[in-house]
Amino acid sequence: PSCRRYVAGGECKSTAKLEGKVVIITGANTGIGKETARDLARRGKVIIACRDIAKAEAAANEIRAETGNQQVIVKKLDLADTKSIREFAEKFLAEEKELHILINNAGVMLCPYSKTADGFEMHLGVNHLGHFLLTFLLLERLKQCAPARIVNVSSLAHHGGRIRFHDLHGEKSYNRGLAYCHSKLANVLFTRELARRLQGKSQRQAERFSAWLFEHHAGNFTVNALHPGSVHSELVRHSCVMTWLWNIFSFFLKTPWEGAQTSIYCAVAEELDSVTGQYFSDCQPAYVSPRGRDDQTAKKLWSVSCELLGIQWD
C-alpha cells in the first residue's frame, strides 16, 4: 500500500562496485549497520567493527553465506573505551593497506545515566567522541586512498539537541532522551567542521600547485551525515516504553533494510563524488536545524573534543 511505501522512504539505486576497496562499518552486527554491511559486501571488502565479537561473527557468517563474499572481516572495537579505539586503529593500519569508506554507524540511545571508560557521558562518548577519535586515527589512510568517503549516521533527533558546553557530561542535569539528541547534533556539527577543514586543505594545496590539482583533488575526499529514518531496530532496547511503542507502531517504522538505504547511498552514489558537508535523509538532501548549521559551535565542539581526547587535530 502507498502508506507503507511512504514509510519505506528513498532507496539507493546505485550499482557502483567497490572492487579492491575497503569499507569499515562500526556497529554492523545488528540493525541498519548490518544491512549496510550486507549491501556493501555485494560490492567489496567490508570490515565489521564491533564490541560484541560473537554477535559480529554471527552477522559476518550470515553475510558471507548470502553474498558469497569471504572478505567480510570482524574486528573488535569498543567505542566506549578510547584504549580499544586506539588498539583497533593500530591493528587495522598494520594489517590493511587500504581504506576508502568509513561509516560511523554505531550508536547508543536512551541509556540510563552512565559513563564510558574515560569518564564521558555514554551518549556523547560513544556517538560523538568515540567516532571523532576513530576518524582522527584513520584519516591519513583514507587520504592516501582517496577518493574516500566518511559517512556519519546522525538523526532527525539532532533538531532537539544543543551542545551544553557547561555540562557536557550531564553531571548537573541528565535526560536520556535529550542526551541522545545532543550527541546526534554533535555528529552533524562534526561532519560540517571536518568537511570545512578538508576543503580548506585542498584549496590551500591548490593555490600552491595550480588550479589543475584543485580540480583533481577538491572532490576526492568527502564527509556527509544522514538521518536513517525511524527504524525498527534494537536501538531502543534501554527503554521499555519505547520498545513497546516500537512494536505497536512497527507498520509505521522502516525495516532495517529500508533504514540502511541512505547510509548506502552516502557511501556509494556516484552523484555524491564531490558533495561534502551535507546532511541526507531518504537518499536526498534534508533540512538541518539552525543549531546544526552554527559554525562557531562546530569549531568550539571540535577543540573541546580534541581536549577531552588528548589529541591535536589541526
Q: Could you read off the pLDDT of 14-46 as tens digits, one per residue?
A: 999 999 999 999 999 999 999 999 999 999 999
List Cβ neighbours of 218 (8 Å cut-off, separation of 6 or more): 199, 202, 203, 206, 274
Q: Which of 119-133, 245-259, 298-312 is predicted with the least confidence, judged by mean pLDDT? A: 245-259
> What local confidence, expressed as pLDDT, does residue 314 receive?
87
Active site (catalytic) residues: 180
CA-based max dimension of the chain: 59
What predicted TM-score, i.e. pTM, was given to this entire model? 0.91
List Cβ neighbours of 172 (8 Å cut-off, separation of 6 or more): 166
Q: Which of 78-87, 124-133, 255-264 is predicted with the least confidence, judged by mean pLDDT? A: 255-264
Q: Could you read off the pLDDT of 108-165 as tens digits, one per residue?
A: 988 899 999 999 999 999 999 999 999 999 999 999 999 999 999 999 999 999 999 9
Q: Per-residue confidence at 250, pLDDT binned at 50, 70, 90?
A: low
Q: For 102-175, where are the alpha helices, taking DSSP H only?
A: 122-123, 131-144
Domain residue limits, the chain: 1-306
* Domain at 1-306: CATH code: 3.40.50.720
Task: Report strand pairing: 279-281 vs 284-285.
Answer: antiparallel
> What local confidence, expressed as pLDDT, does residue 5 receive?
61
**SS3 assignment, position 23:** strand
> What local confidence, expressed as pLDDT, does residue 253 receive?
75
Q: Are 122 and 108 in contact (CB under 8 A)?
A: yes
Q: Which of 103-112, 126-135, 216-225, 272-281 is predicted with the least confidence, judged by mean pLDDT? A: 216-225
